[in-house]
Amino acid sequence: MPSWVVPSGSHATGDTGHTTDHNHIAGDLTLIGTALPVATGAAGQAWPGWLAPTVVTLTDAASVTLDASTGNVFEWALGGNHALAVPLNPVAGQPILVDVQQPASGGPFTPSFASGAGGFAFGTDGQPAWSTAAGAVDQIAFRYSALKSMWLCQGWKLGF
């Protein structure tokens, strides 16, 4: 399950005022050390605060491991023409965002993404033309499809 940071003393209010334990809310959201009241009222009810996902730093290597159970936002600083391996522990419908950064010097490098069962699919658009400027960050979003058994690309923004 992903981890979420919630400011100390923050609360999400609902019409019932029930509180979960310190680790889980609504069965899917792992919280760090804060109990929050759970809204059990009408569907689509909004929380009056914010949640910030834990950002997971990936360790660069020829084949980079991403464990989807550790979060939803990942940062990958390229150190070569390396590949993001098939992610571990996907959950149907889970979104992930990967920030890919070129080095400040050296490079530019071209990332690649594992394809096939459990891997990444870019559809008919194919992969983007990755940024090559020193220190540039490209963001790419995926959602895991249990129907396809793959991480389907949802889009990208390049050149930050």
Is the distance from CB of 119 to CB of 112 less than 8 angstroms? Answer: no
Output the six-digit token pair for 21.
Answer: 């334990």
CA distances from 4 to 18, 33, 50 (A): 20, 10, 10
Q: What is the pTM of this model?
A: 0.72
Model pLDDT, residue 43: 60
pLDDT in tens, 105-138: 988 999 999 999 999 999 999 999 999 999 999 9
Average pLDDT over residues 78-96: 97
Q: State what percent of residues in the chain have pLDDT above 70.
A: 70
Sort strands 137-145 and 3-5 into parallel, antiparallel or unpaired.
unpaired
Query: Residue 130: which domain range?
Result: 54-157
Model pLDDT, residue 107: 87
Distance CA 103, CA 106 (A): 6
Q: What are the residue ranges of helices labelled H in 4-149?
A: none
Last residue of a domain, one of 35, 53, 71: 53
Task: Determine the distance from the C-alpha atom of residue 109 to the mean position of all C-alpha atoms in its chain, rounded to a whole number.
Answer: 22
Distance CA 68, CA 134 (A): 28
Model pLDDT, residue 53: 86
3-state secondary structure of 3: strand
| 69 and 101 share one domain | yes
| 99 and 140 share one domain | yes
| 59 and 44 share one domain | no
pLDDT in tens, 58-86: 999 999 999 999 999 999 999 999 999 99
**Number of structural domains the chain divides into:** 2
| 76 and 111 share one domain | yes
Is the distance from CB of 94 to CB of 75 less than 8 angstroms? Answer: no
Neighbours of 43 (CB within 10 A): 4
| 34 and 112 share one domain | no
| 29 and 59 share one domain | no
| 33 and 99 share one domain | no
| 95 and 66 share one domain | yes
| 69 and 112 share one domain | yes
| 72 and 130 share one domain | yes
Instruction: Supply the DSSP symbol for 102.
Output: -
